[in-house]
């Protein structure tokens, strides 16, 4: 510390004057000592800038020793420091001096906070790649050994993540030492260390020679898989995937499979859960022969496990398991050894198990083909469509496209409709929302006739739901349906029903009419919008509720680009001008915004402005109400100030509402 704070003008100083050259490091020290955590954090994030100012030599001789001596801070500061040091190689002089970064990172790898240790290990792994083989053995390997033999478990857990990066480039004698240290950690007295070793066992096995894998890694795997702590045993299952990929089929059968069979029947449900969760990876690693002889029976046991979490995890893997089976004999294996257990899960007592199965079971139809799907799977689909749990029914409906490709959706239509109706009326609004999102897909598969007869009324009912998110989703749903079925269908089926809602006593439903018009206008085109929708919107401008009126202004702004110039000039503009004089400030604001958009469209179309529409104030030019006031114009005597802002920004709208002046006298609105 004294060396840092003291004067110095040696080689590598940032400037010619000694005091000036010390300024960056002095700022760092001051901020690191500051009581404010944020200041300390900011100083750490500026380390690269300060290192550049100091130069590579002073960074190595002053900055890094200082950082190494001051590893006693808040976790977020240490985390930032560990991350910064991982990218510091170029700032200390390149790969030849990468070992200078090891001391501070070694200290960070021993702290109590796991996140900081993990980040330090990540940076150490990164820096290890920049060491030459000689430097690796001279500096990095000793660091790993120190961490592996540390007194505190924190250092030993960090060491577990470093063996695999230094082993490949080490000499034969050093490799033996590294393997010995790893063996010691696998049998460490502290469960946390054994967990760390188990989590890195597969990674370490990949860089070892095959003989070492057989003679050393497999025994370690066997011991860890029978550890007294289930948190260690379940991590050994994960390592099994990597180890199995390295061994031949005969070695697998002799060395690994007895332990894996034991894990699949472990007394702890967490271990069995891990086997189920990693089942697809295990299946690919061990190959088809062992899969048929060992994994299929194990999978059957997992599907009927006493713990629901295990059954659910296994159910999630049903489709992947079947897809990965060898093509020859796959159908027979599924029908005889998998399907009977699936049928039992369809009526499982736990809804999470049934839901997990429903999310994948439809995918079996493409594997088993049309005949088997109709005979064996269709009854299961129909049973799940009638399940009391909404998530089960929803998962079936969301995967209907799989069945549609094989047998067509008509086979399900009779059971599909009651399930859809129940979901559409479910008490949980999120369930209702989910079924709305699948409605366009269902409509396309069922066809327009079936949809009009059975589902049209549901879509309209959603428009008056008491939850806004449902009404909004129903509006977007109508737009997608129009895009799918066409304008003529919309004109005859949807638009009349939407427009009737304009007379609904509930103002929220009247507003939904406007939202629907906004969404449908573009899909329906100019003719339908002008003849059917526009008159209703203009009529609603006289609504008693201000929220409806300002949404009328917003709707006219939205559909304006679709309308022709005659409708804009003769119908839309007068209504907007009248709304511009409304007693409600929000209605005024949105009316003025809509007026500006309409006028811009008219100008683009070179629509002539009538003399009677010109502002009557002396010296005023045409369309004066559309421009910002110039210097010297009185804000209190001019028309509304048109501001170009993002109208979605509520705060900006509030500020504009205070700035904009709307005179009460009609004299200032000569175009009305």
pLDDT score recorded for residue 549:
92
pLDDT score recorded for residue 397:
80
At 445-470, the pLDDT tens digits run 778 888 888 888 888 889 988 999 99
Tokens of 282: 């295990």
- DSSP string covering 557-569, please? HHHGGGS-HHHII
Cα separations in angstroms, 535 against 268, 511, 528, 548, 549: 70, 15, 11, 15, 14
User: What whole-number percentage of the chain has pLDDT above 70?
Assistant: 83
For residue 140, give the DSSP letter. I
pLDDT score recorded for residue 661:
36
The yes-or-no verdict on residue 17 having pLDDT over 60 is: no
At 59-116, the pLDDT tens digits run 888 778 877 776 666 778 788 888 888 888 888 888 888 888 888 888 888 888 889 8
pLDDT score recorded for residue 53:
77
Confidence band for 23, pLDDT divided at 50, 70 and 90 = low
Whole-number Å distance between alpha carbons of 18 and 650:
54
Among 322-326, 349-353, 410-414, 649-653, the range scoring the smallest mean pLDDT is 649-653
Percent of the chain as helix, strand, coil, to the nearest 5 = 75, 0, 25
Contact 369, 395 (CB under 8 A): no
Confidence band for 287, pLDDT divided at 50, 70 and 90 = confident
Domains plus CATH for the chain?
Answer: 499-605 (1.25.10.10)
The yes-or-no verdict on residue 218 having pLDDT over 50 is: yes
At 153-204, the pLDDT tens digits run 888 999 998 888 888 888 888 888 888 899 899 988 889 999 999 999 988 8
Contact 200, 164 (CB under 8 A): yes
Whole-number Å distance between alpha carbons of 185 and 453:
69
At 604-639, the pLDDT tens digits run 765 554 433 433 333 333 333 333 333 343 433 333
């Amino acid at each position: 510390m004294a060396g840092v704070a003291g004067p110095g003008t040696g080689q590598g100083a940032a400037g010619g004057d000694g005091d000036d050259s010390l300024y960056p490091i002095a700022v760092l020290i001051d901020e690191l000592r500051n009581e404010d955590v944020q200041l300390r954090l900011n100083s750490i994030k500026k380390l690269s800038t300060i290192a550049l100012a100091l130069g590579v030599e002073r960074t190595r001789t002053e900055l890094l020793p200082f950082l190494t001596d001051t590893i006693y801070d808040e976790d977020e500061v240490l985390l930032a420091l560990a991350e910064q040091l991982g990218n510091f190689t170029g700032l200390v002089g390149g790969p030849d001096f990468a070992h200078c970064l090891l001391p501070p990172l070694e200290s960070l790898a021993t702290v109590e906070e796991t996140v900081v240790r993990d980040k330090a290990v990540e940076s150490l792994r990164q820096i290890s790649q920049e060491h030459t083989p000689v430097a690796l053995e001279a500096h990095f390997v000793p660091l790993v050994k120190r961490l592996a033999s540390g007194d505190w478990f924190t250092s030993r857990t960090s060491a577990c993540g470093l063996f695999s990066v230094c082993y490949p480039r080490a000499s034969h004698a050093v490799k033996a030492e590294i393997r010995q240290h790893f063996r010691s950690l696998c049998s460490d007295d502290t469960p946390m260390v054994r967990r760390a070793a188990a989590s890195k066992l597969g990674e370490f096995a990949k860089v070892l020679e095959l003989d070492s894998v057989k003679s050393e890694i497999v025994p370690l795997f066997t011991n860890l898989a029978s550890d007294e702590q289930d948190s260690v045993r379940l991590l050994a299952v994960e390592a099994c995937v990597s180890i199995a990929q390295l061994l031949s089929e005969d070695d697998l059968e002799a060395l690994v499979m007895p332990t894996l069979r034991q894990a699949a029947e472990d007394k702890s449900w967490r271990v069995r859960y891990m086997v189920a969760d990693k089942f697809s990876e295990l299946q690919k690693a061990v190959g088809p022969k062992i899969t048929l002889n060992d994994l299929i029976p194990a999978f059957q046991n997992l599907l009927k496990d006493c713990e629901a979490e295990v059954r659910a995890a296994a159910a999630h893997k049903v489709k992947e398991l079947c897809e990965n089976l060898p093509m020859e004999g796959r159908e027979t294996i599924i029908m005889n050894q998998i399907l009977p257990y699936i049928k039992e899960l369809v009526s499982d007592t736990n809804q999470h198990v049934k839901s997990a199965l429903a999310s994948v079971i439809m995918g079996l139809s493409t594997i088993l083909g049309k005949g088997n799907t109709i005979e064996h799977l269709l009854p299961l689909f129909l049973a799940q469509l009638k399940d009391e749990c909404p998530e089960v029914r929803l998962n079936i409906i969301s995967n209907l496209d799989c069945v549609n490709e094989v047998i067509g959706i008509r086979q399900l239509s009779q059971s599909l409709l009651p399930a859809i109706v129940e979901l559409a009326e479910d008490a949980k609004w999120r369930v209702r929302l989910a079924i709305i999102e699948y409605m366009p897909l269902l409509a396309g598969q069922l066809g327009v006739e079936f949809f009009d007869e059975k589902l049209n009324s549901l879509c309209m009912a959603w428009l008056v739901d008491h939850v806004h998110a449902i009404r909004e989703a129903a509006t977007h749903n109508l737009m997608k349906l129009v895009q799918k079925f066409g304008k003529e269908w919309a004109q005859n089926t949807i638009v009349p029903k939407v427009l009737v809602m304009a007379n609904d006593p509930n103002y929220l439903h009247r507003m939904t009419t406007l939202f629907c018009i906004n969404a449908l206008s573009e899909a329906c085109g100019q003719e339908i919008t002008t003849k059917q929708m526009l008159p209703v919107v203009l009529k609603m401008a006289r609504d008693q509720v201000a929220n409806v009126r300002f949404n009328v202004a917003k709707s006219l702004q939205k559909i304006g680009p679709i309308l022709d110039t005659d409708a804009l000039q003769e119908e839309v503009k007068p209504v907007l001008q009248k709304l511009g004089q409304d007693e409600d400030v929000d209605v005024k604001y949105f009316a003025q915004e809509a007026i500006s958009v309409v006028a811009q469209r008219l100008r683009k179309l070179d629509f002539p402005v009538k003399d009677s529409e010109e502002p009557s104030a002396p010296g005023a030019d045409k369309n004066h109400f559309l421009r910002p006031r110039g210097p010297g114009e009185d804000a209190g005597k001019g028309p509304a100030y048109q501001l170009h802002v993002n109208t979605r920004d509520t705060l900006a709208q509030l500020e504009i509402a205070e700035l904009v002046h709307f005179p009460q006298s009609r004299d200032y609105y000569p175009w009305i």
